[in-house]
Amino acid sequence: MNVTKEQRVNVEEHFNEEKHLIFGYTPTCGTCKVSERMLDIANDILKLPITKIDLNLHPDFSQQHEIQSVPVLMVMSKGSELKRLYAFQSVPYLLENLKK
């Protein structure tokens, strides 16, 4: 499958931010949809810059960052990964992990 530039997002869009999020998902993942809703609720409070990427369209990113499963939430500072979450559990859990 050839991916056009329009289908891909700019993963480095917020790399100049002190703290930002990268949410990796796949469209067929049911858990991803639930996790994305929790993340959206948590981020309505925190207002962090977020980039959401369909990992099917970014195999290079998945490989480079050794992503094990979806959904994945990477807490970033500039271009460096601070923390990675695979299990979102709940909105309070997300808030607790994203505030640190």
On average, the pLDDT of the chain sits at 90
Whether 91 is covered by a domain: the verdict is yes
Quote the pLDDT of residue 36. 97
Structural domain includes residue 11: no
CATH, residue 71 = 3.40.30.10
Q: According to the model, what pLDDT value does residue 10 have?
A: 83
Overall pTM surpassing 0.85 (yes/no): yes
Residue 10 lies in a domain: no
Instruction: Kindly report, residue by residue over 53-90, the tens digit of the pLDDT.
Output: 999 999 999 999 999 999 999 999 988 999 999 999 99
pLDDT of res. 2? 46
* Tens-place pLDDT, residues 7-24: 677 888 888 889 999 999
CB within 8 Å of 65: residues ≥ 6 apart: 74, 81
Q: What is the 3-state secondary structure (H, E, C) of the chain?
A: CCCCCCCCCCCCCCCCCCCEEEEEECCCCHHHHHHHHHHHHHHHHHCCCEEEEEHHHCHHHHHHCCCCCCCEEEEEECCEEEEEECCCCCHHHHHHHHHC
Domain range for 85:
20-99
